[in-house]
Amino acid sequence: MSGRAGSASPASPGAFAPASLTDWLAYLEGLHPKGQAGIELGLERVQLVKEALRQQLPCPLITVAGTNGKGSTCAYLEAIYTFAGYRVGCYSSPHLLDYNERVRINGRAVDDALLCAAFAKVEEARKACHGIALTYFEFGTLAALEVFAAQAVEVLILEVGLGGRLDAVNAYDADCALVTSIALDHTEWLGPTRESIGFEKAGIFRAGKPALCADPDPPASLIAQALAVGADLQLLGRDFGHFGDAAQWTFWGRGGLRRGGLANPGLRGRCQLRNACAALAAVEGLKTRLPVSMSAVRRGLIELDLPGRFQVLPGRPTIVLDVAHNPQAVGELVDNLAGMGFFARTLAVVGMLADKDIAGSLAPLAGRIDRWLLADLGGPRGASAASLAEVVTAASLGGEVECLSSPEQAFARSAKLAGENDRIAVFGSFYTVAAVMRSMQNGR
């Protein structure tokens, strides 16, 4: 996702001239032995190519990090500023169905031609830097900034790929930095504790700039890092927050600020109110440079659809799609499922990456799943269905267990088994949800 000099093997200059977005993405995957799954933390390589491109930020920048909630918070910000009349660029990852989803202007994915032109510029600059290696994520980050500059965006929102301090996105100085949550994930890269992870995520904070944390229990390391760099630290519950009831809520901020009469967010799930609150805190932090009306705020919060975030599909049986892939996110998924009402049975379609905390992620589902449809997840990081089954059995999570060779086959099996009063929950990875979405689109 990000870069450290010298690990990945660059493709030989001039060996291939991509002609389409598909060709370009294949080329980018070839720049690292693990393809788009390649992770090399460090900013040196991105900085070098960025300088060769002479990139300058075209407008105010909001950087969003966090274990969970990053994508939703970016989407709220994107919608609010779009409804406020700004030209908004948003870069997020990973994508579900098409790479273009990662690079959006006013909520719409950019077309292939813009991406290909940007990739060509980055490749020229990379070769000018003696063919320095870039990971898939690094290359895409640099290209996204080229697109946004060419399209003259007025607000820029960048989602961190992994961590913060050494992520490629952090090569750009944020005017407002936001950390949504801190939980154990990517521990092999970020360290084994919330304190080590909090330090890494706080790396996006900048001196004198708003530094927001929406985690209700922020690690001491995050607070210490904010103070060390001289950032304007704002904490949930101390400097901003929310209160209300099932019908509406109020955002509050410094100096007695109140923004009341807000409808509950359009995205489902109990965690979404905290994500929306964090987005509003960022909007308040930049209001002198980017004024926003309350009408834009209200529309941005409720007129939002983000696939794969506790997405409940119409029809019977009920189908829930959620990209939850770590213990915190799956715990929130369990809470949301509990609030849906009665279902005769719950069937789980699950595929996960092997480097995730599989046991910790599945533990909250103990006694809640009637049948597990476990899927092999391909690629160098994918876990096998058999390994998932071992976890379910060893932890005595309950329910019948069946192993299948892919998420598509697992979902097809669940559809055959489920009655109209049952519920199918698809989760465990972006890859799992994406595979099921594609199979539904293709009528399989």
User: 352 and 428 in contact (C-beta within 8 Å)?
Assistant: yes
User: 209 and 232 in contact (C-beta within 8 Å)?
Assistant: yes
One-letter amino acid of 182? I
pLDDT at 15: 52
What pTM, to 2 d.p., does this model score? 0.90
User: 382 and 351 in contact (C-beta within 8 Å)?
Assistant: yes
pLDDT at 38: 55
Distance between CA atoms of 417 and 443, rounded to whole angstroms? 17
Indicate the SS3 state at residue 349. strand
User: 425 and 320 in contact (C-beta within 8 Å)?
Assistant: yes
Could you tell me which of 401, 307, 386, 320 has the C-alpha nearest to residue 352?
A: 386
pLDDT at 34: 53
The tokens of 220 are what? 């001491």
**Model confidence over 106-155: pLDDT tens digits?**
999 999 999 999 999 999 999 999 989 899 999 999 999 999 999 999 99
Cis peptide bond prior to 192, omega within 30° of 0: no
Using the structure block, give the residue that is written with the tokens 């933390």.
41
- Evaluated on CA atoms 67, 72, 74, 77, the torsion sign reads negative
How many alpha carbons fall within 13 Å on the CB side of residue 319?
18
One-letter amino acid of 390? E
**Model confidence over 243-254: pLDDT tens digits?**
988 789 999 999
Domains in the chain, CATH or no CATH each: 21-302 (3.40.1190.10), 311-441 (3.90.190.20)
Low-confidence ranges of the chain (pLDDT < 70): 1-16, 32-39, 444
Q: Mean pLDDT, the chain, as a whole number? A: 91
pLDDT at 108: 96
**Model confidence over 306-336: pLDDT tens digits?**
889 899 999 999 999 999 999 989 999 999 9
pLDDT at 194: 95
